[in-house]
Amino acid sequence: MLYGFKALTLTYHTAPVEVRERYALNEAEAKQLLQMLQEQGIQEAMVLSTCNRTEIYYSSQEPQEALLFYALGMLKSYPIDQDKQYFLHLGDQREAVRHLFEVSLGLDSQVLGDLQIINQVKRAYQWAADLNMAGPFLHRLMHTIFFVNKRVVQQTAFRDGAASTSYAAVEIADEISTAIHEPVVLVVGVGEIGADVCRNLVGRPVGEVIITNRTYEKAEALAAETGFRAEPFDKLDALLHKADIIISSVGMAQPLFNKERVAALPIASFKYFIDLAIPRSVAKEVEDIPGMVVYNVDDISQRVQASLETRKQAIPQVRALMEEGLAEFEEWSKEMEVSPTIKKLKNALEEIRQKEIAKYLKHLDEKERAAVERVTKSMIQKIIQLPVLQLKAACKRGEAETLVDVLNDLFNLEKQAVK
């Protein structure tokens, strides 16, 4: 393969969350890793890091596992040898390309059809481009993926509805915002689900989003990431009074929001509780209080299950679109493999042309020289046209290598530099 595209992956398929957390990378760390690889001679690479995966895609004729492990271990200041068994190296270009397609389209996501993943992939690609680490191969590959993703969104139901508990909660908040203009949202608890809720709320048509957690530092860190506001947990009652929508994922032996606590509030409008916790964090009796609306885990699970069934039914359509994109990209990459041979052939014929006309040009005036240049260049174009067409046709049949060898022998192309 001309580019030798490969990937080193750490995903939820192979590693528990505590291992994935060790190698999660923010933007600064991802760019630092790219720079480390660039300094070691890797000229094309992309780093993708989400809560479910850390993956390094790169182009190299030789496997670079040792370099990637070394760089990642240095960056995270961690003895990576003890975790190597959790990583998977994809050394075959077709396998690595197919994997990136499946990841980007949400086919490989823990939440089928994940709505966030394509934007995370776009950010990873932008970071690579910012550091000049995206070459012709990666540019073409990513734009092919983005085009296929657009077709998936437009032509299938694969991205319809909420397919995770956290996203379903945000969809309910969206619906409420049609009745209450810019509602104040209070997110209580920033475990994995609560953190996902906050990230999904970014850019939504809600008003202020307030985050609170028993460990304030965690709420503060998530607020800094999302651009929301963190408040101490001991202000919960005051925050409850201010909020229109309360999304709680705090699991406790007894409900955090019991009837007495909610009934004691001077309530002047409806409040919507979205309870994502098991055991429930909003007591069932809260629904008996006028103006209180409660969505529990069962309500949300029904939404999620319906969406997942719709998405599962769309998988064959998504895979069909993906195969079309893969075939188009494969054809382009094969043609790129013979591109150096085509350039060398053009150079060889141009060298012959220039040597031959040089014998006669000194005896010609300017007008005659221009005519000779024009005619001989046209002849070269005609001569090279058939070999080029044959090479491209051979690419599609998977037989280009034989024709490349013949052209190399006929025109001694090995001595030609690609200009």
Please give the pLDDT value at position 274: 95
Among 79-83, 123-127, 339-343, 371-375, name the one with the lowest average pLDDT: 339-343
Chain position carrying tokens 């908040």: 173
Write down the residue that tokens 């090479």 correspond to: 391
Distance CA 315, CA 78 (A): 39
CB neighbour list of residue 23: distance below 8 Å, 6 or more residues apart: 10, 49, 54, 72, 76, 78, 83
Which residue blocks in 202-296 are alpha helix, DSSP H?
Answer: 216-226, 236-242, 259-263
List CB contacts of 230: < 8 A, sequence separation 6 or more.
210, 211, 212, 213, 216, 219, 220, 222, 223
- Strand ranges for 159-255 from DSSP E: 185-188, 209-213, 229-232, 245-248
Q: Specify the long-range contacts of residues 56-61, CB closer than 8 Å, at least 24 apart.
A: 56/7, 56/8, 56/9, 57/5, 57/6, 57/7, 57/96, 57/100, 57/138, 58/5, 58/6, 58/7, 58/8, 59/3, 59/4, 59/5, 59/6, 59/135, 59/137, 59/138, 60/4, 60/6, 61/4
The pLDDT value recorded for residue 225 is 92
Q: What pLDDT, on a 0 to 100 scale, did the predictor assign at position 416? A: 58
Higher-scoring residue by pLDDT: 264, 399? 264
Helical pair 93-105 and 297-361, crossing angle rounded to 10 deg: 140
Query: What percent of the chain is modeled with pLDDT above 70?
Result: 91
Residue owning tokens 């006929």:
410
Q: What per-residue confidence (pLDDT) applies to 73?
A: 94
The DSSP line for 85-127 is GG-EEE-SHHHHHHHHHHHHHTSSSSSTT-SSHHHHHHHHHHH
**pLDDT tens digits, 269-280:** 689 999 998 888
pLDDT tens-digit readout, 157-177 = 998 887 888 888 999 999 999
Give the residue-averaged pLDDT of 340-368: 79
**What pLDDT is stored for residue 365 in this prediction?**
84
Rg (CA), the chain: 29
The predicted pLDDT at position 330 comes to 87
- CATH topology classification for 165-304: Rossmann fold (3.40.50)
Distance CA 187, CA 249 (A): 8
1 pLDDT more than 60:
no
- pLDDT value of position 358: 83
Q: Which residue shows structure tokens 């005051």?
A: 238
> What are the pLDDT digits (tens) for 292-329?
999 988 888 888 888 889 999 999 999 999 999 999 99
Q: How far apart are CA 377 and CA 322, in angstroms?
A: 42
- Ordered DSSP codes for 270-286: -EEEEE--SS-SB-GGG
The residues that bridge with 59 in the sheet, in sequence order, are: 5
| Annotated catalytic residue, options 1, 19, 24, 51 | 51
Beta bridge partners of 186: 210, 246
Mean pLDDT of the chain: 88
Say what the pLDDT of residue 306 is. Answer: 86
The verdict on whether 395 is a catalytic residue reads no
Contacts made by residues 328-333, CB under 8 angstroms, sequence distance 24+: 328/144, 329/97, 329/140, 329/141, 329/144, 330/94, 331/395, 331/396, 332/140, 332/144, 333/1, 333/2, 333/3, 333/93, 333/137, 333/140
What is the CATH topology of the domain spanning 5-159? Beta Polymerase; domain 2 (3.30.460)
Average pLDDT score over residue span 367-388: 83
- Return the domain boundaries, the chain: 5-159, 165-304, 333-415
CB atoms within 10 A of CB 71: 22
